[in-house]
C-alpha cells in the first residue's frame, strides 16, 4: 500500500514559509555582513526584510479583521510604512559615507507612493478586473484620497521651486521644515476626518457589498466542504494570540527588520554606486521591498471582490507615505544632524503628480476594470525606464 504525502508538513510550510525564510535569511545576512561580503549581505538582508514584512502584514491583517474599517486598513498601512521609515532612515544614516544616500532617500519617499499607486493599485485592479470584469467601490474614498494626495504633492513642489530659483541652502532647509510641519498638521486633520467625522467616506457602498455578499455565500459553502475533508488543519499561532501578544510579535519582527535594514543600508549603497545604479532606481528597489506585503494583501483582496479594501490600502498608504513619513524622516534627520531637504527633482515630482491625476481618472466613477489597472502599470514602467537613465 502506497503512503500518502505528509499533508501536515506541507501545511506548515505553507503557513510559516515567510517567517522561517525571513529568519534564516537574516542569519545568513549577518554572517555575510560579518565577513564583508557586500553582495550576499545586500541580497539576503533584502529577502529577509521582504519575507518578515509579509509576516508583519499577516499579523496586521489578523488584527485588522478584529476591528472595523477604516481602522483595519490603517493598521496594515502603518505596519508597512514603519518598515519603509526604518529602511529610509537606515540609508539616511549612511550619508556621511555615501554621497548618494540623501538622494536615494528622496527617491525612496517618492517611489513609495509611485509603487503604492501604480504597482499595488495597478496589479490589484488588473487581477480583480480579470476575475470580475468590473468592481465597484465607494467613489467618495478615491475622490477624497486623490484630493489629499494632489494637495500634498503640490506642497512638495515648494522647496524644489526655491532650489531652482537659486535660493540658498538655509532657505531651502527652512522651507522643507515648514512644509513637513504643514504636512503633519494636515495629516492630523485628515485622521480626524477619516476616523471621526466622515468615516462613511471610507467604507464599502451598498453596490459593492452585494457582490461580496454573493461571493461570501459561495465561499462559505466551499469552506464547509473543505472542513469536512481537512479536519486536521494546521494551527496558525497568530490567529489565536491575544491583541497584546500579536502586537508584541509585530514589534519583534520589526526589530529584526530594523537590524536587516542597517545591514542593507551599509552594504547596498556602495554596490549601487559601483554598478552605476541611479538613485531613482535604488529608490524604487527600496520601495518595492517595503510595499511587497501590501501588494500580496491587495491582490488577495481584489480576487475576493474587496476592491474597497484595495483602494483603502493603496491610497491610504500613499497618503501616510507623504504626510507622515516625510515629517518623521525630517525630524529624525534633525536629531542626528543630517540636512535632509525636500527639493525633489522634476522627474520625481512630475511622476507623482501624473500618478495622482491618473488615479483620479481611473477611480472617480466608483468602478474599476482591468484596463485601468494596466494603465497604472504602464505609467510605472515608463517611469522606471526614465529613472534608469536620469
pLDDT digits (tens, 9 = 90+) for 80-132: 788 889 989 999 998 888 878 888 999 899 999 999 999 999 999 999 999 88
CA distance 244 to 242: 6
CB atoms < 10 A from the CB of 15, how many? 18
Query: By mean pLDDT, which of 108-112, 146-150, 182-186, 209-213 is the weakest?
Result: 209-213
pLDDT digits (tens, 9 = 90+) for 14-27: 677 888 899 999 99
- Lookup: cell for 325: 513619513
- Lookup: cell for 69: 474599517
Of 306, 249, 274, residue with least CA distance to 135: 306
Average pLDDT over residues 26-39: 92
DSSP state of 345: -
Query: By mean pLDDT, which of 47-61, 320-334, 365-379 is the weakest?
Result: 47-61
CA distance 300 to 384: 25
Size of the chain, expressed as the number of residues it contains: 390
Of 131, 87, 68, residue with least CA distance to 312: 68
pLDDT over 80 at 371, yes or no: yes
pLDDT at residue 192, as a whole number:
86
Query: By mean pLDDT, which of 44-48, 104-108, 126-130, 169-173 is the weakest?
Result: 169-173
Of 347, 350, 329, residue with least CA distance to 338: 329
Please tell me the chain's helix, strand, coil percentages from 3-state DSSP, rounded to the nearest 5: 80, 0, 15
pLDDT digits (tens, 9 = 90+) for 196-254: 787 766 666 544 444 444 455 545 554 554 444 444 455 678 878 887 888 888 888 88
| Residues in contact with 3: Cβ distance below 8 Å, sequence separation at least 6, in sequence order | none
CA distance 50 to 248: 19
DSSP state of 200: G
CB atoms < 10 A from the CB of 312, how many? 29
Q: Which alpha helices (H) appear in 165-242, and where do they start and end? A: 169-192, 206-229
CA distance 176 to 271: 29
Quickly name the fold that domain 12-389 has.
Answer: A middle domain of Talin 1 (1.20.1420)
Amino acid at each position: 500500500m502506497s503512503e500518502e504525502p505528509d499533508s501536515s508538513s506541507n501545511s506548515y510550510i505553507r503557513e510559516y514559509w515567510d517567517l522561517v525564510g525571513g529568519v534564516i535569511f537574516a542569519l545568513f545576512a549577518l554572517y555575510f555582513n560579518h565577513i564583508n561580503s557586500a553582495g550576499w549581505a545586500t541580497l539576503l538582508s533584502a529577502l529577509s526584510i521582504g519575507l518578515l514584512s509579509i509576516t508583519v502584514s499577516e499579523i496586521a491583517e489578523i488584527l485588522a479583521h478584529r476591528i472595523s474599517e477604516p481602522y483595519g486598513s490603517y493598521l496594515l498601512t502603518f505596519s508597512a510604512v514603519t518598515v519603509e521609515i526604518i529602511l529610509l532612515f537606515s540609508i539616511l544614516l549612511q550619508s556621511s559615507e555615501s554621497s548618494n544616500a540623501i538622494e536615494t532617500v528622496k527617491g525612496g519617499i517618492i517611489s513609495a507612493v509611485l509603487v503604492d499607486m501604480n504597482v499595488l493599485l495597478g496589479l490589484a485592479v488588473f487581477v480583480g478586473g480579470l476575475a470580475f470584469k468590473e468592481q465597484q467601490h465607494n467613489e467618495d474614498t478615491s475622490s477624497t484620497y486623490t484630493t489629499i494626495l494632489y494637495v500634498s504633492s503640490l506642497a512638495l513642489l515648494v522647496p524644489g521651486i526655491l532650489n531652482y530659483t537659486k535660493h540658498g541652502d538655509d532657505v531651502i532647509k527652512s522651507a522643507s521644515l515648514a512644509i513637513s510641519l504643514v504636512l503633519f498638521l494636515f495629516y492630523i486633520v485628515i485622521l480626524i476626518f477619516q476616523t471621526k467625522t466622515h468615516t462613511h467616506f471610507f467604507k464599502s457602498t451598498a453596490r459593492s457589498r452585494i457582490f461580496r455578499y454573493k461571493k461570501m455565500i459561495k465561499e462559505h459553502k466551499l469552506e464547509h466542504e473543505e472542513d469536512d475533508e481537512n479536519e486536521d488543519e494546521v494551527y496558525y499561532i497568530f490567529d489565536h494570540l491575544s491583541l497584546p501578544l500579536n502586537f508584541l510579535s509585530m514589534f519583534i519582527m520589526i526589530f529584526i527588520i530594523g537590524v536587516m535594514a542597517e545591514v542593507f543600508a551599509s552594504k547596498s549603497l556602495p554596490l549601487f554606486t559601483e554598478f552605476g545604479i541611479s538613485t531613482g532606481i535604488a529608490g524604487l528597489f527600496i520601495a518595492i521591498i517595503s510595499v511587497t506585503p501590501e501588494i500580496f494583501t491587495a491582490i488577495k483582496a481584489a480576487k475576493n471582490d474587496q476592491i474597497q479594501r484595495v483602494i483603502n490600502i493603496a491610497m491610504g498608504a500613499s497618503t501616510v507615505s507623504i504626510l507622515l513619513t516625510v515629517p518623521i524622516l525630517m525630524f529624525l534627520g534633525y536629531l542626528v544632524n543630517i540636512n535632509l531637504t525636500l527639493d525633489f527633482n522634476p522627474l520625481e515630482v512630475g511622476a507623482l503628480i501624473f500618478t495622482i491625476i491618473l488615479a483620479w481618472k481611473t477611480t472617480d466613477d466608483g468602478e474599476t476594470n482591468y484596463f485601468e489597472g494596466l494603465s497604472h502599470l504602464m505609467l510605472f514602467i515608463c517611469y522606471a525606464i526614465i529613472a534608469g537613465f536620469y
